[in-house]
Amino acid sequence: MKKKILIFYYSQSGELYNAVNRIIPESVRKEYQIDYIKIEPFVHYKFPCSWQSFFSVFPDSVLQNTRPNKKINITPNSDDIILLCYQPWFVHPSIPFNSFLKSEYFSEIITNHKVVLFSCCRNTWINSLNIVRTNILENKGVIISEIIIEDSAATDLKSAYNYIKWFFTGKKSPFNDLIDANKKNIENRLHKVLIENCAEKQINLKTHPRFAYEQKIVRYFTKWAKFITKSNNTTAKKIKLLLFQTWIVLALIFLAPIIKFLLIFKKNKYEK
Ligand SMILES: Cc1cc2nc3c(=O)[nH]c(=O)nc-3n(C[C@H](O)[C@H](O)[C@H](O)COP(=O)(O)O)c2cc1C
């Protein structure tokens, strides 16, 4: 009987699902049976979505509040490989994926299993990888590969604009080109890890050039999320969320370049 790869995924637009489908090489498909298991939240996160619904998930994403998913009734065999596909929402694992991480059955799926992590996103993924990684290690999973497809070439403002446009219209997905550009390399990595059994070294997040920048974003976002959720009154919450939306647009234009400059300056000063 073939060994199995169990792919757990949530995909709002379908792009993360397409991405994982496209990066599994033929050699792996021949060797393993591949089963897809959908993470299904009870709340439907629409795609394309409106400006309001895009930002409405901000506080829960950042504060890592869970929302119920449909129960997954799967007990993997001991030699099954677990492939987890997740996406960052506001620099944290998305609400459906985070709720899966925190579910009572997550431990049963992960414990003592080899795990491959896969994410395909804009360009801020360090904090969410750190959170996902911590959850897996706490549940005694063994991470053998961490694969991130990111839009590293784009500047913050330009990439934010392209993604937001795609999210609001559903047209011109930025992911196709990204996957094409990374496909060969990822196929080779998966072949090495899954066929030749060579585990990869974990990414050193703390030395990543964007680590300090993302940490700053996390601190700002957490303050905003707490400020928004402090009010019980719906109107007050809406006004605060509106303030946050104004802040984030201004921050992307003015604050992000300044923070980046200061962090590069600080790094150079220490390295001298
Ligand atoms: C509400 C929301 C917030 C997002 N925040 C981030 C983010 O912080 N960093 C990032 O790189 N991508 C971010 N993205 C892009 C998603 O990670 C990207 O859309 C996703 O990987 C595609 O997955 P899907 O198949 O679920 O649509 C965000 C998307 C949404 C909808």
Q: What percent of the chain is predicted at pLDDT more than 90?
A: 77
Chain centroid, CA 157 distance in Å: 19
- Indicate the residue among 159, 181, 202 that finishes a domain: 202
Give the residue whose CA is nearest to atom 29 of ligand 1.
89
Q: Out of 80-89, 146-155, 209-218, 261-270, which region has the weakest mean confidence (pLDDT)?
A: 261-270
Residue 140 is part of which domain span?
3-202
User: How far, in Å, from the CA of 36 to the mean position of ligand 1?
Assistant: 20
pLDDT tier for residue 258 given thresholds of 50, 70 and 90: confident
Please tell me whether residues 25 and 76 are part of one structural domain.
Answer: yes
pLDDT at 272 over 90: no
The predicted pLDDT at position 58 comes to 97
Q: Tell me: do 17 and 48 sit in the same domain.
A: yes
Residue 164: per-residue pLDDT:
82
Same domain, 33 and 124: yes
Would you say residue 262 has pLDDT above 80? no
pLDDT tens across 49-91, in order?
A: 999 999 999 999 999 999 999 999 999 999 999 999 999 999 9
124, 84: one domain = yes
pLDDT confidence tier of residue 154, bands split at 50, 70 and 90: low
Question: Both 11 and 137 in a single domain?
Answer: yes
Same domain for 185 and 52?
yes
Q: Give which of 98, 91, 96 is closest to 10, Cα–Cα.
A: 96
Are 61 and 96 within 8 A, CB to CB?
Answer: no
**126 & 14 share domain:** yes
pLDDT of residue 10 exceeding 60, the answer is: yes
Q: Which of 156, 174, 202 is the endpoint of a domain? A: 202
Domain tally, the chain:
2
- Is there a single domain that holds both residue 188 and residue 223? no
Cβ < 6 A, ligand 1 pocket: 11-16, 54, 57, 87-91, 120-125, 163, 167
On whether both 118 and 187 belong to a single domain, the answer is: yes
Residue 151: pLDDT band (50, 70, 90) is confident
Q: Which of 202, 230, 263 is the C-terminal boundary of a domain?
A: 202
Of residues 153 and 90, which shows the higher confidence score? 90
Q: Is the pLDDT of residue 269 over 70?
A: no
The whole-number pLDDT of residue 163 equals 82
- Among 21, 52, 53, 89, residue to substitute to test ligand 1 (most atoms within 8 Å of Cβ): 89
Is 158:166 a contact under the CB 8 Å cutoff?
no
Quickly state the pLDDT bin for 162 (edges 50, 70, 90). confident
48 C-alpha to center of ligand 1: Å?
12
Provide the sign of the torsion angle of the four alpha carbons 200, 202, 203, 204, taken in this order: negative
Peptide bond into 174 cis (omega under 30): no
If asked whether residues 54 and 187 sit together in one domain, one would say: yes
What percentage of the chain carries pLDDT values higher than 70?
Answer: 92
Distance 210 CA to ligand 1 centre (A): 17
Average confidence (pLDDT) over 206-234:
93
- Ligand 1 atom, smallest distance to 92 CA: 8
Cα(91) to centroid of ligand 1, in Å?
A: 9
CB count in 10 Å sphere of residue 85: 23
H or E stretch including 247?
A: helix 234-250
Q: At residue 266, does pLDDT exceed 80?
A: no
Does one domain contain both 133 and 169? Answer: yes
CATH of the domain at 145: 3.40.50.360
Closest ligand 1 atom to 57 CA:
1
Same domain, 51 and 69: yes
- Closest by CA position to 80, among listed 144, 9, 149, 15: 144
Spatial separation of the C-alpha atoms in residues 58 and 47, rounded to whole Å: 16
Lowest mean pLDDT among 56-70, 96-110, 245-259: 245-259
Closest residue (by CA) to atom 14 of ligand 1? 89
Atom of ligand 1 nearest to the CA of 55: 1
* The predicted structure's pLDDT at residue 265: 63
